[in-house]
Structure 1
Amino acid sequence: MYQYFILSGIFLFFEYIIHVLGTWKLCRKAGINFWKIFIPIYNIFILLKNYGRSIWYMILLLNPLTSIILLFILWIDLIRSFGKGTKKDIILLLFSAGIYIYYINFFEKIQFLKIEKIKKEDNTGILLSIIFSFITHTYIIQPFVIPTSSMEGTLLVGDFILVSKIHYGLRMPMSPISIPFTHNKIYKNIKSYISILQWPYFRFSPIQSIQRNDIVVFNFPKDFNHKIIDKKDHYIKRCIGLPGDLISIKEGVLFINQKKEKFFEKKQQAYFVKTENIPLNIEYLKNKMDIEDIELIEEKNDEYFYKIMLTEKKVIQIKNFFDNIVFIKKNIFPINYQEYSIFPNNYGWNRDFFGPLHIPKKGELIKLNLKNIHIYNEIITYEKGEKINVPSERYYKIKNNYYFMMGDNRHNSYDSRYWGFVPENHIVGKPIFIWMSIDWDRKNPLNLFNWKLRLNRIMKIIK
């Protein structure tokens, strides 16, 4: 905690130096007393007062990123009073990262004209709205869109959701300098943040702790393209395993602490479907029954074979509706089939026969041996910063809580079964609301003419 605020204070001090060096001559020409220019915070207050801006702008100093925004606002006001308020000047100031004000301050021979106080009818309201939106986006609620089908049928592709960042404890930003309203990229591999500066992890106390079966947004632990945690890609899954739990899957059925999971209506799995004489009415399945993942595997001798992602409820509905169905059965991998991409890679597990796997809990002692070192090596490497191939210590004390995440679309989800645990410091927030839902062509989502509103999902609370 103290590290975070100490670093923020150091950052603000450097901002103060940059601001004073870049503006002191201009401030003197504007008639501001010499001593007022050099007093931290008070010099900001003086400029706000002189240009008729609200003192509430001072709140922006509480955060490194918003403090940068405040400095640019003040600099724009200042150069305008010297006749440098054209669009060209403002663009030069922004795209030179503030260097332009140094040029004006030290090299331009300009005269002070007058202080133009900001009028209510100016763009102040728009500016404040943008700043307020940014603060809300960063610290309270952030919008997301569901891009994949891993959470069907709870969350659908094209659902626009709001995620609370305070339910599980507000995690303060770790990358202090980044482009507002972006995550980790501007375009392709161009990053939207400065990766050299990185703040330590700090989280406020949660309103509620993560409960089993909560839907959680988190940063993908295996995103190696971005080293700063809060800039790693966002994932959304259901938390089915809490710290200290024992997870296992047998014939596609999840067991938590050796107890079978409760019936979950929205859970989807892959089913093989065979019909004869007449194929399935795919248009009806998609439009009337909201079944999206349908794949025709084979057609032979008036027999049709499909693989479809279905809930148990929809399995019953299809059986009752189609008379030509020969069979519907789950696509369960055999126990002796090994998926090499399954975590921890060398245990011979697959998506339907997995575990038992213990989820590490903060403070517990893990007894290390040659059998489990492959499971906990990543955690030790992450926490200690060094890789252990052979356990030299008999026990290791876990420093963080970890979680096990799975998608509701169990056979079409890239989740903890494939890449392991989610550390507590990767947790972003809790989805609370669907404010918009669009059914688009998944092969061509940018084709606006094929968009359809899902009216029954708009303004819906996520339970």
Structure 2
Amino acid sequence: MYQYFIFSGIFLFFAHVIHVLGTWKFYKKLGVKSWKIFIPIYNIFILLKIYKRSIWWIFLLFIPLTSIILIFILWRDLIFTFLKKTNINVVLFLLSAGLYIYYVNFFKNIQLLKIENIKKKENNIGILLAVIFSFIIHTYIVQPFVIPTSSMEKTLLVGDFILVSKIHYGLRMPMSPISIPFTHNNIIGNIKSYISIFQCPYFRFPSIQSVKRNDIVVFNYPKDYNHKIIDRKDHYIKRCVGLPGDIILIKKGVLFVNHHKEKYSSEKQQAYFIKTKDIPLNIEYLKNKMDIEDIECIEEKNDEYFYQIMLNEKKVTQIQNLFNNIVFIKKYILPIHFKEKSIFPNHSDWNRDFFGPLHIPKKGEFIKFNSHIYNEIFTYEKVNKLDIILKKYYKVKNNYYFMMGDNRHNSSDSRYWGFVPEDHIVGKPIFIWMSIDWDRKNPLNIFSWKFRWDRMMKTINNQHSYLSLFFLFSFVYLIYLLFKNEKIQ
């Protein structure tokens, strides 16, 4: 905790130095005394007063992420008080992320254009504050996500737009303060949206509730090697089937936790083989009327048709009752002696349907250094290589979790890449606010979109929720107040 706040203080001090170096000439031209320019916080207060911005803006300065936004806005105020707002000046200012002010400060002879440039108020200040408010909500309270893959079907569908609470499991403070707002890790292609020079230490506030078994959890993918900062790794969403200290075992595709069979889930999907005779399956009907997407025709031979389809038990029963030409329908379970090369851990004899037993490490437990199963733990916790050679046991510093997709045979999860460290957990999905059934091969074709009205404004467990209406009302009301306050002043 202390490390995070000490680092934040250091970051804000550097921001203060950068601000002073780039603006001291502007301050002098505005008639501000030299000694006032160098006083942290007070020099920002002076600009807020000069440009008649609300004094409450000063609180944005104490959060590393919003402090950058505040300084950028004030730099924009300064530079266009002394320079004409031409297209070239605007472009240079934006492309340089505001650093164009350094060039102006050191190499241009600046003169105040008109006193009206300072006293004139902006009509769009309400929109600006609404954007800042949205950014704070997005970063610290609730964040929107879209489901891009079928790994959680039928619980979450491709095209579901969900809101994820960042405070249920404890707010994890951002670790990369210098970043482009409303972006995650990349802008376009491999161009990163953040700068990793400043990296805050991990810190999480106390949780409202702990992660429970069978909770759906959003987390950062531990094996994302393209991004070293934890909160910039790719986002994954899976079901937490194993808690710290649990023992995981999968036998014939059935999950056992602490030697108890998992509770029945009607939405859990697995791969099934289907054979029909004389007449093939009506794939269009299955997709359009039964909402079954993952259908693969494996073979057609002598008027016999073989398919592999992802189904839950409810859909299996429906298909058996609908089609009279089905010869058989059975689960596709890998043989116990079949070894999947990509399975976790490396060099094991397991596969997706025969996995474990595997103990999930818990904070404070001792594990053996010579166990290859826990090599990733030593990497996550940056264990000294010398300790691995000299010592027999290691005391685990963090809790770990085991995640699996509900679409059991079409999910890249902990069976393939291992445990999820506690510091990688982002939050808990609250509800689905919109859902679109799009063409999975061409999702940008908006003409093929179909809204799933029955899934909108519902919680993840498919219950009606009015919480979304509360968020919408709050947002609209906030914008109204901002515009209203601006007119009153």
C-alpha RMSD over aligned residues: 1.6
TM-score (norm 2): 0.91
Q: 1:272 to 1:67 in 2, by over 3 A?
A: same
**What pairs up with 1:106-185 in 2 under 5 angstroms?**
106-112=106-112, 113-114=114-115, 116-117=117-118, 122-185=123-186
- Relative to structure 1, is the Cα distance of residues 411 and 222 closer, same or farther in structure 2, using a 3 angstrom cutoff? same
Q: Which AA in structure 2 matches 1:232?
A: K
Letter matched to residue 271 of structure 2: A
> Kindly tell me: are residues 388 and 329 of structure 1, through their superposed partners in 2, closer, same or farther at Cα, counting changes over 3 Å?
farther
CA distance in 2, matches of 1:118, 1:287: 61
Secondary structure, counterpart of 1:381 in structure 2: helix
- The Cα offsets for residues 124-156 of structure 1, whole Å up to 9 and x where unpaired, read as 111111111111111111111111100000001
Identity fraction in percent: 75
- More displaced 10-residue stretch of structure 1: 198-207 or 96-105: 96-105
Q: Find the aligned partners of 1:330 and 1:348 in 2 and give their Cα distance.
A: 21
Q: 1:19 offset after TM fit, Å? A: 1.2
| Structure 2 equivalent of residue 283 of structure 1 | 284
Contact 1:377/1:388 (CA < 8 Å) preserved in 2?
A: no
Contact persistence 2:81–2:118 (CA under 8 A): no
Residue 440 of structure 1 is aligned with which of 438, 441, 461?
A: 438
**Whole-Å separation in 2 of the counterparts to 1:385 and 1:90:** 49
Match of 1:105 in 2: 105
Whether the 8 Å contact between 2:369 and 2:388 is mirrored in structure 1 is: no
Q: Is contact 1:247-1:356 (8 Å) kept?
A: yes
Instruction: Identify the range of structure 1 (240-249 vs 64-73) with the bigger mean alpha-carbon deviation.
Output: 64-73
Worse-matched range after superposition: 254-263 or 86-95: 86-95
Q: CA shift at 1:345, angstroms?
A: 2.2
Q: Which residue of 1 aligns with 2:14?
A: 14
Give the superposition deviation at 1:115: 5.3
**1:420-462 per-position Cα deviation (integer Å, ceiling 9, x unaligned):** 0000000011011111111111111111111111111111111
- Name the residue aligned to 2:77: 77
Indicate the structure with greater helix content.
Answer: 2
Picking from 454, 458, 461, the partner of 1:460 is 458
Q: Which is worse superposed, 124-133 or 245-254?
A: 124-133
1:322-341 alignment, distance < 5 Å: 322-341=323-342
CA contact (8 A) 1:82 1:114 kept: no
Post-superposition Cα deviations, 1:22-49, rounded to whole Å, max 9, x if no partner, equal: 2122111112233322211011111101
Q: Is the 8 A contact 1:51 1:115 kept in 2?
A: no
Distance (whole Å) between structure 1 residues aligned to residue 175 and residue 433 of structure 2 = 28
Q: Deviations over 1:308-358 (max 9, x none)?
A: 101011111111111111111000011111111110122200000000000
- Structure 1 unaligned spans of 5+: none
For 1:118 and 1:428, how far apart are their aligned partners in 2? 44
Q: Does the Cα contact within 8 Å between 1:217 and 1:430 map onto a contact in 2?
A: yes
SS at match of 2:123: coil
Structure 2: segments with no counterpart, 5+ residues: 462-489
Deviation per residue, 1:246-270 (Å, 9 max, x gap): 0000000000000001111110000
**Partner SS for 2:5:** helix
Partner of residue 425, structure 2: 427
Return the alpha-carbon distance in structure 1 between the equivalents of residues 278 and 387 of structure 2. 58
Contact 1:297 1:306 in 2 (8 A): yes
Secondary structure of the 1:191 match is coil
Query: Structure 1 61/280 Cα, relative in aligned 2: closer, same or farther at 3 Å?
Result: same
CA–CA distance in structure 2, aligned partners of residues 386 and 178 of structure 1: 31
Query: Hey, what's the Cα distance between the residues in 2 that align with 1:271 and 1:47?
Result: 67
* 1:91 paired to 2:91: yes
CA drift of 1:65 comes to 2.2
Question: Is the CA contact 1:143–1:160 (under 8 Å) kept in the aligned structure 2?
Answer: yes
Which one is further off, 121-130 or 421-430?
121-130
Counterpart position of 2:408: 410
Q: 1:148·1:157 contact (CA, 8 Å) conserved in 2?
A: yes
User: Which residue does 1:232 correspond to in 2?
Assistant: 233
Count of aligned pairs? 460
What CA distance in whole angstroms lies between the structure 1 residues aligned with 2:405 and 2:385?
30
| Whole-Å separation in 2 of the counterparts to 1:46 and 1:394 | 61
Distance 1:183 1:116 in 2: 36
